[in-house]
């Protein structure tokens, strides 16, 4: 009984220390977000004076991405609690760097058709904020598996992460062809939050698919990347029919695209249903592997 109590208090102490380190990383992350990524952003001013919900959505997505990425190291074994804390702090600093780099890629290649910073800060555009948040979460999912492997080294992690970002860019570029409407014009010109939610859901689902594809431990470049590639292609193809199934099963008799773009007031509920369909399918696929 005494041994059980001692183990419980030891574990509780480690968890508390890890939580403190984790929130310290959030503080460093938000500082880096303002100073290195959104350089025109005054966080307290936008959140608590101007009450800008778009900034809050984008920032929460960024925090959520960091949390998901940190999950890749929290479950790893360590010799003692000091090593666990050092690993968490070092890994967290690395995650923040990669999260900022992924955010830059999202700005320059996914939301390249307009100035996302201006849309979020000046125009309070919820659609743009939703997509940025989705990109942050997707990046966190990719980092969760790309950086957490105990074999292969940093080169493998870097290549996996870059492939994951490339997949996000390609999927977001093909998305308007599937929806039959210009999602980026809807977000910029109409501040359409429904279109942003739907695209954010697709990005999160894609990031989750990439996480699953890269989850197996690395053995060598040929064998592992052949396995990663086959898994990734199969999972992405499985998402192709999801939107059609969402129209057919989740909202029978209604076209989601019409609800998102052909209404005087875009139907955010329809965007949420489409986002749910993508994310739910990605988890169902993940659990099957």
What is the pLDDT tens value at each position of the chain, 289 positions in all? Answer: 567 766 766 677 777 887 888 889 999 999 999 999 998 899 999 999 999 999 999 999 999 999 999 887 665 555 566 777 888 888 889 999 999 999 999 999 999 888 999 999 999 999 999 999 999 999 999 999 888 766 567 888 888 899 999 999 999 998 998 888 999 999 999 999 999 999 999 999 999 999 988 887 777 777 778 888 888 888 788 777 776 776 777 777 788 889 999 998 999 999 999 999 899 988 988 887 7
CA distances from 55 to 47, 123, 201, 204 (A): 7, 10, 18, 19
What secondary structure does DSSP assign to 115-148, as a single string?
A: -HHHHHHTS--HHHHHHHHHHHHHHHHHHHHHTT
Q: Is the dihedral of CA 172, 64, 103, 196 positive or negative?
A: positive
**Token duo for residue 78:** 């360590």
- First-residue to last-residue Cα distance in the chain: 40
**Token duo for residue 106:** 């999202």
For residues 63 and 27, is the Cβ–Cβ distance under 8 A?
no
In the three-class reduction of DSSP (H, G, I as helix; E, B as strand; rest coil), residue 235 is classed as: helix
């Amino acid at each position: 009984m005494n041994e059980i109590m001692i183990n419980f208090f030891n574990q509780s102490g480690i968890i508390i220390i890890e939580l403190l380190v984790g929130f310290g990383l959030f503080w460093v992350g938000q500082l880096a977000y303002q100073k290195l990524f959104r350089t025109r952003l005054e966080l307290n001013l936008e959140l608590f004076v101007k009450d800008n919900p778009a900034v809050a959505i984008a920032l929460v997505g960024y925090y959520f991405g960091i949390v998901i990425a940190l999950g890749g190291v929290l479950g790893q074994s360590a010799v003692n609690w000091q090593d666990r804390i050092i690993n968490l702090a070092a890994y967290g600093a690395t995650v923040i760097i990669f999260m900022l780099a992924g955010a830059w890629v999202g700005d320059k290649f996914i939301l390249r058709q307009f100035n996302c910073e201006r849309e979020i800060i000046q125009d309070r555009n919820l659609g743009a904020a939703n997509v940025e948040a989705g990109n942050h979460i997707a990046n966190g999912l990719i980092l969760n598996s790309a950086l957490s492997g105990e074999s292969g080294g940093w080169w493998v992690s870097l290549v996996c992460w870059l492939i994951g970002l490339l997949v996000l860019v390609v999927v977001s570029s093909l998305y308007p062809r599937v929806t039959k409407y210009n999602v980026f014009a809807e977000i910029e010109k109409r501040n359409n939050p429904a279109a942003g939610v739907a695209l954010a859901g697709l990005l999160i689902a894609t990031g989750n698919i990439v996480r699953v594809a890269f989850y197996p431990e690395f053995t060598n470049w040929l064998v592992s990347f052949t396995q990663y590639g086959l898994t990734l292609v199969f999972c992405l193809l499985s998402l192709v029919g999801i939107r059609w199934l969402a129209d057919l099963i989740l909202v029978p008799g209604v076209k989601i695209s019409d609800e998102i773009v052909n209404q005087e007031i875009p139907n955010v509920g329809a965007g949420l249903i489409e986002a749910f369909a993508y994310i739910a399918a990605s988890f169902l696929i993940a659990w099957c592997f």
